[in-house]
Amino acid sequence: MPMPITVIVTTYNRPDALAATLRGLADQTYRPFEVIIADDGSTGETADFIREIADSFPVPINHVWHPDRGFRAAAITNRAIAASTGDYVILMDGDCIPRSRFLEWHCRLAEPGWMVGGNRILLGEAFTNHILKNSIPVHAWPRARWIKPRLRGQTNRLLPLMFSLPGDKWRRRRPRDWKSLRTFSMAVFRNDLLKVNGLDEAFVGWGSQDSDLIIRLMHSGVRIKSGRHSSPVLHLWHPEQPRDEAKKNREELEKVLRGHRITARKGISDQS
């Protein structure tokens, strides 16, 4: 029997990018799964869009929202984890487009005691605008169609799109390489997320929340498996987030690296 999966997609005031992400999820070869949109305070345009597509979307889709009080992606992601029903959780950003076998590969790599991190293909600004303006289904493009955008400098790499690498042994070579994972494409068992109390909402602003989660998962005994050359996402261009709190957050992350703390100071258990 297929393993139930929850895909949590974080978003903030970018419904055009979210639409591209959801087109990719709607076209997945793998079933069953559910989608939870973790919305960090978007305006009503995003909610309206989700309502419009919910009835025709091929799997259950749930919109979890909280008011806009600055960057609080950790808090809304925790709320989404609390609302999830899948045994396996895939975290991804709402500006990352999954190709059609994204979930199939993630499920293939799933293994108790391990978390899996995928990689990404960066798309240029003009190319991104072209895709979004014309609703181009790049998630379904055949491999050969990516050669021209790469030659034009519209993407930063090509090889991950050209072939997938089988096997598991090489994927376990660096079980503590926390820098190789980010929550734009990360898979982990739900029980492991609950064990560490999810993301740490005590971090303020952008920066280090995902690394903190990964390190605490490692402290709890979960190891890292590479998802490279299996499930790359197409990362739409966007301006950088303000990084006013990045230095302070990095200092907090260093404390977690030096210590042994497993649970978030403020996390899923604190959700009302």
Q: How far apart are CA 230 and CA 163, in angstroms?
A: 8
Weakest mean pLDDT among 63-77, 141-155, 167-181: 167-181
Q: Any idea what the CATH number is for the domain that residue 254 is in?
A: 3.90.550.10
DSSP 180: G
| 3-state SS, one letter per residue, for 118-161 | CCEEEECHHHHHHHHHCCCCHHHCCHHHHHHHHHCCCECCCHHH
Weakest mean pLDDT among 31-45, 109-123, 154-168: 154-168
pLDDT score for 246: 75
pLDDT score for 134: 97
Contact 28, 102 (CB under 8 A): yes
Instruction: Report the mean per-residue pLDDT for the chain.
Output: 92
pLDDT at 243 exceeding the cut of 80: no
Confidence of residue 20 (pLDDT cuts 50, 70, 90): very high
pLDDT score for 209: 87
pLDDT at 272 exceeding the cut of 70: no
pLDDT at 165 exceeding the cut of 90: no
Closest CA to 97 of 13, 162, 7: 7
Cβ contacts of 197 within 8 Å, gap of 6 or more: 263, 264, 267, 268, 269
Confidence of residue 146 (pLDDT cuts 50, 70, 90): very high
Counted domains in the chain: 1
pLDDT score for 242: 65
Contact 135, 15 (CB under 8 A): no
| pLDDT tens for each residue of 88-128 | 999 999 999 999 999 999 999 999 999 999 889 999 999 99
Closest CA to 229 of 144, 143, 148: 143
pLDDT score for 245: 72
DSSP 176: T
Segments forming the whole domain that contains residue 38: 5-270
Cβ contacts of 196 within 8 Å, gap of 6 or more: 213, 216, 217, 219, 220, 262, 263, 264, 267
pLDDT at 130 exceeding the cut of 90: yes
Structure tokens at 129: 């605008």
| pLDDT tens for each residue of 181-208 | 888 889 999 999 999 999 999 887 777 8
Instruction: Output the pTM of the full model.
Output: 0.94
Structure tokens at 268: 């899923």
